Amino acid sequence: MGKIVYPPGVENHGGFLRIWFMYQGKRVREKLSIPDTPKNRKSAGELRSSVAFAIKTGTFNYAAQFPSSSNLMKFGEERNDITVKDLAEKWISLKEMDICNNTMGRYQSALRNTIPMIGASTLITSVNQERMLSLRKELLTGVQNPKRGHKSVVTGRSVATVNFYMGVLYGMLCFAKSNGYVKENPMEGMAPMRRSKVEPDPLTRDEFVRLIDACANRQVKNFWSLAVYTGLRHGELCALSWEDIDLKAGTLTVRRNHTLKKEFTLPKTDAGTDRVIALIDAAKDILRDQAEMTRLGKQYEIDVLLREYRKKEVHKCTFVFNPSLHAKNGRSGHHYAVGSVNQSWEAAMRRAGLRYRKAYQSRHTYACWSLTAGANPNFIASQMGHSNAQMVYQVYGKWMADSDSDQIAILNQKLSSFVPSMPHAKAV
């Protein structure tokens, strides 16, 4: 068998053909991903000759000729063939290692809602700032989409939601710029929209009593009472086990959270990991009552996802709140889910005839009641799992101002004995 002769600039690489040529003073190679056959060798030689001619005449477009080449970044070329949809899929698959599954679900939802509005098949290089500003307006005000000959109105989203969606797209476009798909991020310089400060809307004492009286059963009453008395997040309450509670010491340790993705994770923030809650007497009474129902229940081994990608650990849990106690069909699990407890709050609010509030107001109620009672903001922050008291000052400043008169009374009581006596004026 004679020696195989390759056309100039064509070579075998692992059984496949590739070509090499000089570009901007550098030798570069491009894989063709075609088998090494006589016919393919001839085609590769013709391609190499056309590339060399285009370079010599100044008409060569690297990105157009080799759109997926890893050499594009070397020469500052754009990968200008990738669509918005393909870029989003590439970015979100790589982002998975940086964020938890719950956050991943929110990112995917943001892309699912925005990519069709930009245009899934639109080339990323054709997306400019005007298009992104228009998208933001459409998200905020709502759009009309033709469907089966009719126009269906998509309701506008809140400023908070729009800002989150745009933040996700900004991250995706930063990725595009860093990896050579675009030269500039079209969202550079676009500031988030301003949003009105949302004031906490806590329950009054009377409303709290009415809410608890309207709860469906004893366990649900205890759940929402403990939520208000401790300020725990609802996912933390769903994941709470008797192994986390020391009634003798009057403490509750937050070790895990249950998410909308129905997974157990570590608490929301690093500051919330294994934080110790100091229980007030009312909270201890609630837990003693709940212990009669679930303290001697079955212990389960559950997987808790750690922050390191794909790492987990096993916790042994006897859940404090167990929905199987009141299940009518026998299909309930051994712990509550966040979605189901929110439904129980809404049902109790309706039965009690109270003005509607989201279930998260149970947490605001704890903070506002505590501040009104004169509790230290740093203590409240540690109880609620914040890294410092800054959020307490920002969100609950109004309730801190309401207790100013109490602070004056405390100062009068505590400092009076330290105030030096002042000499009386001499009578003339």
Phi, psi of 16, deg, nearest 5: -120, 165
Q: Which of 41, 256, 258, 386 is catalytic?
A: 386
Tell me the C-alpha distance between 53 and 9, whole Å: 13
211, two tokens: 């809410």
Q: Rounded to 5 degrees, what are φ and ψ at 121? A: -95, 5
Instruction: Give CA torsion, residues 79, 83, 89, 91, to 10 deg.
Output: 40
CA dist., res. 404 & res. 219, Å (int) = 37
Q: Tell me the β-bridge partners of 314.
A: 303
**Listing from the earlier edge strand, what are the strands of the sheet with 16-23?**
10-13, 16-23, 26-35
CA-closest candidate to residue 234, choices 388, 362, 356? 362
Is 366 tagged catalytic?
no
Is 363 catalytic? The answer is yes
Q: How many CB atoms lie within 10 A of CB 25?
A: 5
Distant-in-sequence contacts of 388-393, Cβ < 8 A, 24+ apart:
392/367
Token pair, residue 124, equals: 């990323």
CB 293 within 8 Å of CB 325: yes
Rounded Cα distance, 29 and 20, in Å: 4
Catalytic-labelled residue, pool 48, 79, 258, 363: 363
Looking at residue 319, what DSSP letter applies? B
Pairing of strands 300-305, 264-265: parallel
Which among 268, 315, 334, 351 is annotated as catalytic? 268
Q: Which of 136, 221, 233, 364 is catalytic?
A: 233
Q: Is 233 a catalytic residue?
A: yes
Catalytic-residue membership of 268:
yes
Residue 310 designated active-site: no
Phi, psi at residue 35, to the nearest 5°?
-60, 155
Phi and psi angles of residue 113, each rounded to the nearest 5 degrees, phi first: -85, -25
**How many other C-beta atoms can be found within 10 angstroms of the C-beta atom of residue 121?**
9
**Cα angle vertex 119, ends 118, 124, to 5°?**
80
Helices (H), 265-337: 281-294
Residue-wise DSSP of 193-206? PP-PPPPP-PPPHH
Catalytic residue numbers read 233, 268, 363, 386, 396
